[in-house]
Structures are given as C-alpha cells and as structure tokens.
Structure 1
C-alpha cells in the first residue's frame, strides 16, 4: 500500500532536482560569461585621458528578464569594463618615426638599382642635422641599449635647473624665510596647591598667540632674524591687573661668524650649511662650474656628432664612386662577353667555348660586385647601408623615394699646417682641456673651502627686543590701556650681546678633508698635463694623416689615368686580334680597382681635413655652430 506514495514522491523529487540543475546551470553560465568578458578585456599598458571606445549597439532582440542577481552582476561587470577600457594604442606612422618624407614601397637591396636622387651638399647636411637633432646621435647606436648615456639638447638645461645641486638651489640658501603661526587654546586645570595655580585652585584660561618670523642669510655668512609675538591671555587668577590682557613684542637678532664659515669667498664656494667631506654641493661657485662642465660635455658630444656626420657623408661619397666603377666594369665586361659570344656563334677565331665561358664568368663577377656595392658584403657596408646611416644621423626617415647623394667634390688642393701653431690652437680650444681646467678650478675651490674648517667656530651674537603690555591690543586711554601704544613708547627695551665659541681640538675630519682635497687637486693637475700631451700627439698625427692622405691620393689619380689608358689600348688591340682576352679582362679589373682606391683616398683626405679641425678644437666654429664659449 506504500508503493504508490513512494513512487510519486520519487518522481516529484526528480522533477525538482532537474529544475534546480537547470536553474543552477543558467546561473553558472551567466557567471562564466562574466568571467570570460573580464578575462577578454584589453590589457591596459598605460593610462589615457581620452574617452573609451564605444562599441556599436547590438542588434535588437526580444527582451529577456534576467535573474535579479545575474542582472546586478552584469551591471557591475559593465561598469568595471567602462572604467578600465582604453583606446586601442595604434602604431605610429612611418612618417612620424622618420620626421616626414615620402616613403618608398619597398626596402632597397642589391636587386633594386638606384633611380631617383636627392643631391646633398655639406651646407644642407649641417642645416638638416641641426633641424632634427634633439638627440645627439652617433655612428655606434646607443639609444636602444643605454639611452641614459645618450646626450640630448636638454642636458645642459636639466643640469642648470637641478633643484638640489643647480645654481638656483645654491642661491636658495640665501633666500629670505618667512614663517607665521596662530594658535588658540582653552585650559581648565585644577591644582592641588593654589600657589602653583597662581592663587587659584582651578585655573580657567583662554590663550591666543600670533607668531611671525623672518630670517635671512647674506653671502658673508651673517644671519639676520626678526620676530613679532602677540599674545592674548584671559584667566581667573586673583592677582591679575586686568581680567584679560594683551602682550606684544618685536625682536631683532644677528649672528656673525668670525672664523669658521666667515667671509664671502667661503660662502660662495661651499654654501652656508657646508660640512667637511660633503663636496660642498650647495656652493654657488661650485654649482656654476658644474653647469659649465655639463655644457662642455654637450659641446664635446655635438662636435663628435658633426664628425660622425662628415664621416658618413664621405663614406657615402666613396660608396657611390665604388658603385659607379663597378657598373662601368660590368658594362665593359658585358660588351666583351657579347663580342666573344657573337664570335662563337659565327665560328670565328676568338669565340672558343672557354673564352666565352671566361668572359661570361667575368661579367657575372662584376655583376656581383655591383650588387655588393649596393647591398654590402665581403666586409663592405654597401651604398644603401651607408645612405641609411647618413639618414639616421641626420634624423630623416629610414627610406624615401629619393636617395641621398653627396654632390660636393672632395678636396684635392694640398693644405699645409704649422705644427707648433696647430698645437697652440688645440691647447687653447679643445673642449676636453676646457673641461679639465674647470675640474681643476673646482678642486682648487674645494681645497680653499676645506681649509676653512680648520678654524674654530667663533660667532658674534646680538639681540634686541621691545615689549608692550595692555588691557586691549589697540585703543586710547592711560598707560597699559593699549599694548600697541605701550610697544611704540619703547619703555620696555631688552638687549643681549655675546660671543659663542666651539672647537674640536683634534680636528681629524677637517685634516682629512684638506688631505683629500689636496690629493684630488694634484690628480686633476696631472690629468691636465697628460691631456695636453695627448692633444699634442693627436695634432701631429692629424697633420701627418693629411700629408699621407694627399700623397696617396695623388698616386691613385696617376694610377687611374694609367689604368684608363691601358684599358683603351687593350680594347683597341683586342679588337685587332693582337692580344688575348685575358689581357683585356686584366685591364678592366685594373680600372675598377684603381677607381675604387681613388674614391677611398679622396674620402680619406677630405675626412682628414675635417679631423684636423676637430683635433684643434675649431670644428664647431668652422661650421658656424656656436654653443657656448670655452673657458680658459
């Protein structure tokens, strides 16, 4: 009799469980969808002030009434996505990377012959470099591996505006300091002994104080200060003349160092708060010298940058000459090959198979040399690589429809330099020596400041004060009716005068500071002498390089002339059948080698003339670039 109820109960439980599983699966699907939405949100790399990208509205669909908890979860998820969604960071365009210019559709390589050119003079080279050189570039690319070592046009200004060690920070030590405070308090105290409470057992007091202070230190080390104090006191003491009263006072103080820390020289070198062994970084003279050193470092980087520009310019000039020589040799080799090939097809003498193969191999050898001259290889960078290097140094786009082509002819006139005059000019103008002289001056000032700490601390101090007392702060009436009137009457004047002294008998730190400063000074002097010797060697080496480059260039010019005459004669003799093919090929190869070597020697001589200006320290002035005067 219990079977039917039991069966009905089991069937009813199964239905309830099925409905519950479906409801639970719907909730789990909603939660999982929220998790997927959150996990698929775009990764935020950096903040943006732009509004989030609004996705287009979805297509209309029948309204669905979600579960209340699910709807709230979706609402929170949408709010979270709106908070973290940012615009998609698009890659910058190539024109922005290169600073403008038309970009070519393909990268130039050895299979692409140069067709369109942009002639570039040395004057245009300097002008373009000055327009696009916020970062001082170099042939050795360091901006990716160590950007902190790269010099920029902002570096001198960054050093000059240093808020801790710059000139402004050093001058700030002598700025006026103003401080003011206003406090009010209510006191309600009970004293066990009425004498301690001022004849009252329970003290009830209202107290207000206004305090203003001004401090100033001058370059002689003198400290001035002025202070004004106004107090209001209302209490229930039985002995008071007034239930409430005002008290005012104005005081002036001065402290003048007589030994340690005294004098304008010390305070300008080390600063007013200097301590031995801390390099006196807050001295105005030290700060200005450090700023000049930073400017000199910038001049050195700028000078080397222009040298790299000229190096890349004449290297590209050499690559063009090598390419032209290779193209000329390839064309000659092609003509020879076609001549031999026609003889072979006609069955004439000189058209043997081995000669045709030899001339064909020669042609493809020169074809490879043309490709090498364009794309590089065999230890050579190639014309396209040299052109990209020059573009990078100037600040242009990596590639363009027009290929840069130097058009200024290399120097061929012989220049003579007097060794002693050149050395004297270099010793006077070199930025490295200017920087070292600044370092030497810096160390000399530090030694002078360090000697000051051997003196004891002896200060002359003085202070004067005027007080006022009254029932009210201001007003008319008898004496003590107004604290201001009583103050201005000068009836209550006080003064203080004395001498303060302090000394460390052994003075070990001061002695160590002097010893260290002396050694640093000797080191910088030795470095200056060694740098002057190194500059003298560099000048002599640069002059010798100019003379050697000129002589080798003259020899290369004579060699090219002889090689061209040999090639013309060999072509005539070969056509008449008087010489073998090997002699014509050898003459062609001689022309290519001689022209390539002439291009190398011409670039070497032109670059040697630039290097002598760099060595003597006049490169920037010769180019008309003026950054800052050298310090001597």
Structure 2
C-alpha cells in the first residue's frame, strides 16, 4: 500500500523499530493533511528519528492499514463555482489597460475632473465604500457597504423585525394516530373473563390546535382546541368509538417580574436574566449601524478629497522638477560650449551634468515612483470606481483655496460636540445601557402571574353531524350546547431566594452604564482636542503657505541674479547649481503647503462634523420595492389619529427627533484676505499668493 511514496524525501521519517504504530498514525494524518501541515512534517520527522512518543502505546487498528477515500480529496484545493452579476466595478476591473509608468503626461489625453464630480462618482459608483488602503481584499468582512444598515434591520436575531416577531400571533397544531394490541392476563372462566377481552385492541387519534398571542404589557392569550378519538373493544362502553374534546381559553398576566410595557419593549417578552432583545434595543442597534455607515461615508469623502489634492500637487511637483531638469540641461549644455571654447573647467562641466541627471531622476520618480503622478492618479481612480488605466489621465480642475479662513471657535466647538458621528454613536450606546439598567431593575422581582382558564367540554359518537336527537351524538354538538363548562383562576409565584442572578444583572448593567458615560465624556474631550488641533493646522498651514510663497519668489530672483553673474564669469557655477536646486524645492513646498492648507480646512470640517455638508453629500434611504408602497398604503388606511392623546400613556421617546448630518449649518467660516499684521514677521516684501494654475 502506498504511504509516503509521493512525499519529498526531506519530509519522510526514518524507520524506527520503536515507533511503528506512531509512524502509521502519523503517516495516515500526513496523508489527509498533505497541503496544510507540510511545515509541521519536518518537525515531526525529527521527533520520530530521536525517540518515541505517546502514540507508541496505542495498539494498531484496522483503520491504520486501510486508506480512506477522503485522503486524496479532503484537503484538495478547488475553485468555487458561483454566480456573479456584471456590475460597474467588475467591468472596470476587466477593462483596465496596460499601466502608465514613464510616459509623457502631455501626450496622454486628459479627463478633467472637479472635486465635486470626484466625490459624486465615489459615493454613487459602488455599494462598497472604498478606502485608500484597499482593505476589501485582505479584510472583506470588515468592509463597509450600503447594505450594512439594511442587514442590521433584517437581522433575524437582533433586528427590529425580529424583536417585533415576539408579539406575533402563534398558531400550532398536532395530529397523531396510534394503535394498541395488548394481550390481557385474564384467567379463563373467571368473572372478569366475560367482561374483559383476552386481547385489548384500540385505535387512538389526537388533535391539538392552539392560537396564542403575546402583548406588550407581558400578558399572553391562548385559545386551544383538543380532540381525542378512541376506538376500543373494551366492554361497558356506550359507543365502540367516541370523540372527547374541549375548547379552552387562557389568560396569563405577570404582576411583578415581566410585567409592563417598559420592560417588554426593552428586554422582550419572556426574556431571561441579563438578556435584552426588545424592540428598543433593536432600534438602538440599527441607529448604531447607521452611525457606522455615516462614519464610513465621511471617511470615503475625506479619502477622495485627500487623493484629489494629492493628484493636484503631484502635477505641480512634476512641473517643478521638469523646470529644474530643463534649467539644469541648459546649464550643462552651456558649460559644454564653454569647455569646448577653452573658457570652462571640466569639473564644473561634470557638476552641471550630475545635477542634470539628479533632476532627471527626480522627474522620473515624480512621474512613476511610489508617490508619483501615475500612482496618485490610480489611487483617485480606484476611489471613484474607474479602471486602473484606460488611456486617459485624470486632471483636477478645481482651484485650491489660498485665502485666509476665519472661523468662530465657540460655534465650531458646539457643533463638534453635537454633530460628530462618534459622539452620537456613543450617545446611542449610553442610551442602550440606560435602558438595560431599567430592565434589570424591573427584573429583580419575584415571578407572580395571574392565570385564568375557561373550558367547554364535549363527548360524541361522531365528530360532527349525526341525528342530533340522541345525547352525545357528535362532539361539536355537545361542546356548543354548553352543558359542560369548567373554569380555573389563581396565581403562580416563583421566587429565587436572594435574587442573586437578578442582582448580579443589575450590578452588571450599572457598571456598563458607568463605563459608557466615562467613554462619552472621554470622547467629547478627544473631539475638542482634535478640533483644536485642526484649527491650529489651519492657521499654521496658511502661514506656511505665505512663507513658502515668499521663499519661492526670493529663490526665483536669486536664480536670475546668479545666472547672469555666472554667464558674465564673475561667479562660480556652484552657486547657480545650488540656487537651481533651491528654487525647485521651494516651488514644490509652496504647492505642497497649498494642498496642506486645503486639507486642513477639510480636517476642520471633519472634526466639526460638517464634512458631508461641506462637500454637499446627502444620506437618504434608497427606493422601496413597489409592493412596499402598496403595503404601506393599505396599512395606513386603517390607522386613525388619537382623539385625546393626553388621555393615553405614551412611553418616553427614544430620540429627540430626526437628525440630518448633511443639513446646512450656521456660517462659521469667512474668506478674508491676509492682513498686514499676519505678514509683519516676513523678512521679504510679501505678495498675496495667487491661485494655483490648472494647466500642466
């Protein structure tokens, strides 16, 4: 029999006279896990070659010498067969062309795109909310989609509909047939022998139907109907076969534990100690799922704006390096001419050539490097759902903001502590803990139920029909006559002495409540700190924008002066080469600071909870199915308003009303030109930075 013939020699265990049983068991296990446990086989063979293990004490069995059918199929890697619909993302994945690397961007057709269009494409292209990191491949279960709020609502265990199903009417029925053929231990010739058959032969049939309903107050109603059929050869029976049954109504009302709408709406009817699966808890779960979805949308919008401005500055950085490369090439060519004419030096010619290749390498890195133009362009393409490459080059056309922003700190702080989705999500968690503590306290009581039953009994030779002239002719006639009625009323009590489990549930709920309150306070503190940091970044980045702009102007003037002095022969080439490097660096940092300033404004809106409104993104429920509109219309016709709402006790509301995270807010920003006081520290004559050009 084939054992380890198909295994590499490096994984075979050397034969050992002391470990035969162990080798057989390990060989059988290796065969069924050939692919998954290959790395562990090396260690196993080392142990086998040194000594024996616990497997040596296990006797050989028939299963050790027979190969299993599953040995060759259990761990075989196969390809799944699934049904996949053609969608925009799947088509975009198949339509990707060869990626761009070092092509000249000026020779590639451009696709102009505004920031508003990019955000609109990102939120409408796919039900999956993308991220820059692309975690959908490594962590698909943790990816947020537009289906998540609906999944929370439709969850059969924790959703709202699942919680409401506990109050649905329940109908159950049972129907069984059976037969008995039992010999009797009766002495022949005795007195009982003439009244009892030697073999008892009976046919049975049982039918049970029940309709029950649970109410929000904890009460339960039930209507039962039982029918028993018996066909027997027993003597002294008026009918050989008969139908016996009853119609019963039951009412059970908890008086202490499990009573009241408050407890049943939070914990659900008939819930155990520490179990909270009521309608209100399910509603909070849905609100938390909506908050998570909103946070994912905010993250998507922030990522799109980040990628958009990164691509915009990528064009500017590439343009600055191209200018530096061309200037270095001109200097190198000029130095070559001087060297050929005998007026130059070879070391200066080598320095100019080295700087040219340095700028050329920077251009190539700014074009196709890990943080180059094509990489940034592809990152934006992924976020908006376009193919990785399609022969066109995305080109941002939105002009970045370069004017100073003034904001109202008190208003912004108040909005951040109110509108931030993280704060609202934590408030929902706190609300859930408050309701759980209320339910736990209501559940720390003995079980005392009032029970009432009323029953109509009947007996009949037939189930239904008959002559109706004889007594007990049919079962339903006997029941409807109402001659045989029974009732029962009383209370049932169950008291766990000490109520230890219920008291532990109260303590646990109280600790959870205190924890969520502490987390909410810490969340608000963190939000205020984050908002303060973002406000500081706005002021800092705008000041750096002005400083880098003045630096860029100064470096340009320095290059012009040193170029003239170098060509006049009054200065060394080293100063010109250094100035050329500085002007490229200052230009790149100026556009980088311009992008950082716009991202700082984005971060401030994000920390303030107004990013969706800032980017004009609205969240709304999708269209219903046509049948849902018809059901809502038919149900709404039967609903009438309360005539006297003050006479009806209504539980306290769960929320304070609807909240729209994308609604317009109080104006907290004003665009204002930079004042002279802000520029007093600048050593150079200052000028207002102009908007970045949109052409490459």
TM-score (normalizing by structure 2): 0.73
The answer as to 2:254 corresponding to 1:257 is yes
Structure 2 Cα separation of the partners of residues 344 and 305 of structure 1: 57
Structure 2 Cα separation of the partners of residues 359 and 47 of structure 1: 61
- For residue 301 of structure 1, what is the aligned residue in structure 2? 296
- For residue 210 of structure 1, what is the aligned residue in structure 2? 207
2:196 to 189, 195, 200: 200
Instruction: Return the offset for 1:577.
Output: 4.1
1:617 to 589, 597, 609: 609
Instruction: Return the offset for 1:576.
Output: 4.1
Instruction: Return the offset for 1:197.
Output: 11
Structure 2 Cα separation of the partners of residues 259 and 420 of structure 1: 50
Residue 145 of structure 1 aligns to a residue in which SS? coil
Matches within 5 A, 1:450-599: 450-472=440-462, 473-478=464-469, 479-599=471-591
- For residue 390 of structure 1, what is the aligned residue in structure 2? 380
Residue 164 of structure 1 aligns to a residue in which SS? coil
The answer as to 2:156 corresponding to 1:163 is yes
For the pair shown, the structure with the greater C-alpha radius of gyration is: 1
The answer as to 2:325 corresponding to 1:330 is yes
Tell me the matched-pair count: 542
Residue 226 of structure 1 aligns to a residue in which SS? strand
2:120 to 106, 127, 131: 127
Residue 45 of structure 1 aligns to a residue in which SS? coil
Given the superposition, is the C-alpha separation of residues 531 and 195 from structure 1 closer, same or farther in structure 2, using an over 3 Å criterion?
Answer: farther
- Root mean square deviation of aligned Cα: 2.8
The answer as to 2:278 corresponding to 1:286 is no
Moved more, 310-319 or 602-611: 310-319
The answer as to 2:310 corresponding to 1:319 is no
The answer as to 2:354 corresponding to 1:345 is no
- For residue 434 of structure 2, what is the aligned residue in structure 1? 444
Residue 415 of structure 1 aligns to a residue in which SS? strand
Instruction: Return the offset for 1:111.
Output: 6.6
The answer as to 2:215 corresponding to 1:225 is no
Residue 151 of structure 1 aligns to a residue in which SS? coil
8 A Cα contact 1:434 1:630, kept in partner: no
1:239 to 236, 247, 251: 236
Structure 2 Cα separation of the partners of residues 512 and 469 of structure 1: 52
8 A Cα contact 2:123 2:129, kept in partner: no
Structure 2 Cα separation of the partners of residues 325 and 112 of structure 1: 15
Structure 2 Cα separation of the partners of residues 525 and 321 of structure 1: 48
**Cα deviations by residue, 1:39-96 (Å, 9 ceiling, x for unpaired):** 9xxx88245499xxxxxxxxxxxxxxxxxxxxxxxxxxxxxxxxxxxxxx9xx99994
Residue 327 of structure 1 aligns to a residue in which SS? helix
Instruction: Return the offset for 1:114.
Output: 5.6
Instruction: Return the offset for 1:508.
Output: 0.9
Structure 1 Cα separation of the partners of residues 117 and 309 of structure 2: 14
Point out where structure 2 has 5 or more consecutive residues left out of the alignment: 1-71, 621-657, 662-696
Moved more, 315-324 or 195-204: 195-204
- For residue 146 of structure 2, what is the aligned residue in structure 1? 153
- For residue 103 of structure 1, what is the aligned residue in structure 2? 97
- For residue 628 of structure 2, what is the aligned residue in structure 1? none
Structure 1 Cα separation of the partners of residues 504 and 191 of structure 2: 58
Residue 130 of structure 2 aligns to a residue in which SS? coil
8 A Cα contact 1:332 1:588, kept in partner: yes
Moved more, 413-422 or 142-151: 142-151
TM-score (normalizing by structure 1): 0.80
**Cα deviations by residue, 1:187-245 (Å, 9 ceiling, x for unpaired):** 33333369999952343323333221111111111111111123333323332223333
Structure 1 Cα separation of the partners of residues 193 and 401 of structure 2: 101
Structure 2 Cα separation of the partners of residues 410 and 460 of structure 1: 73
Residue 173 of structure 1 aligns to a residue in which SS? helix
- For residue 405 of structure 1, what is the aligned residue in structure 2? 395
